């Protein structure tokens, strides 16, 4: 039986949904009943293909999907993306921000390349800041919604945002300084959006997974085969998370079931951080 509180029925924007976690999050939203999903990505081709594929997972008979090409580092482009959603579909109920990059290197912090550092911060931290700012600004202008559960009817706010952060938002990984710094910043963005706009009925939370099976991880495994051995050694269940496991968690955080959850970062690490490890 599906828990009613985890069903969605509104308009969603998923940024970075051409592939990987963002794509699977959007597919999970379609399965959960979203009426509209806008697939936003820098890669028009993958966003278009993902929007079309989502139709086979959708459960809402009124389901619509479309794509929008965006560079999350471009302030005007991000604003145009949010304006497109609101103007075309009337409101923005759910936003997922999953665009991001790895730093692509395993480098001691003192040897960090400043150009690489700036690139990672610009895409990951600035990009998430711009998306959240535009999304929250749109949500605060719309009417609040209600949900009726077995205990009564409650206000569930004007909108919900979920940011895709990382286990590196909580702790460092040797040689991944640029990425770790950016993901700590993303968690701070999440907290501040939730804190500053809670009274306006806007929730902002984050999912913070450890390794996830995505094209990004595939590239990492190809570049550094030792990562596979590290995953099996570090994670008690000896595998990376599946991207749909992350997507389904995102659905929960967006849903009425999580209407009391705000400014929280949910760690998805299969108990890795529950154990002290001595090498």
Among 57, 179, 191, 252, the one annotated catalytic: 179
Name the pairing type of β-strands 212-213 and 202-209: unpaired
Any idea what DSSP says for residue 143?
A: P
φ, ψ for residue 148, nearest 5 deg: -105, 120
Q: Which of 269, 270, 261 is nearest to 5 (CA)?
A: 261
Q: What whole-number distance in Å separates Cα of residue 229 and Cα of residue 81?
A: 40
* CA 227 centroid distance within chain: 23
Tokens representing 16?
Answer: 């970075």
Q: Give, in order, the Cα–Cα distances in Å from 240 to each of 17, 48, 273.
A: 20, 27, 15
Active site residue 183: yes
Q: What whole-number distance in Å separates Cα of residue 227 and Cα of residue 217?
A: 9
Among 183, 191, 252, 260, the one annotated catalytic: 183
Buried b (16+ CB within 10 A) or exposed e, 115-127: ebbebbbebbbbb
- Quick check: 17 and 29 in contact, CB under 8 A? no
* Secondary structure (3-state) at 247: helix
Q: Which long-range contacts (CB under 8 A, 24 or more apart) does 148-154 make?
A: 149/4, 149/5, 149/256, 154/259
Q: What whole-number distance in Å separates Cα of residue 124 and Cα of residue 97?
A: 10
Q: Which of 153, 268, 127 is nearest to 210 (CA)?
A: 268
Active site residue 179: yes
Q: What whole-number distance in Å separates Cα of residue 31 and Cα of residue 168?
A: 29
Catalytic residues: 179, 183
């Amino acid at each position: 039986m599906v828990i009613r509180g985890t069903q969605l029925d509104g308009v969603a924007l998923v940024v970075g949904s051409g592939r990987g976690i963002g794509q699977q999050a959007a597919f999970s939203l379609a399965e959960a009943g979203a009426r509209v999903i806008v697939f936003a990505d820098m890669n028009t081709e993958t966003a278009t293909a993902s929007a079309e594929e989502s139709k086979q997972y959708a459960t809402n008979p009124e389901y619509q999907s479309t794509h929008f090409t965006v560079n999350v580092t471009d302030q005007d482009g991000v604003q145009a993306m949010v304006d497109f959603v609101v103007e075309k579909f009337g409101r923005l109920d759910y936003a997922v921000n999953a665009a991001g990059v790895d730093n692509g290197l395993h480098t001691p912090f003192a040897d960090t390349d400043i150009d690489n550092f700036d690139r990672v911060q610009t895409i990951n931290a600035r990009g998430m800041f711009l998306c959240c700012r535009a999304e929250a600004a749109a949500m605060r202008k719309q009417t609040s919604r209600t949900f009726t559960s077995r205990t009564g009817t409650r206000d569930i706010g004007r909108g919900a945002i979920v940011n895709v952060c990382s286990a590196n938002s909580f702790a460092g990984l040797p040689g991944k300084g640029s990425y770790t710094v950016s993901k700590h910043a993303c968690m701070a963005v999440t907290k501040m959006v939730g804190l500053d706009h809670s009274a306006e009925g806007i929730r902002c939370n984050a999912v913070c997974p450890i390794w996830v099976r995505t094209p990004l991880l595939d590239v990492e495994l190809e570049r550094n085969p030792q990562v596979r051995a590290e995953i099996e050694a570090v994670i008690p269940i000896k595998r990376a998370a599946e991207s749909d496991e992350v997507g389904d968690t995102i659905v929960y955080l967006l849903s009425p079931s999580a209407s009391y959850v705000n400014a929280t970062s949910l760690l998805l690490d299969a108990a890795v951080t529950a154990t002290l490890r001595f090498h």
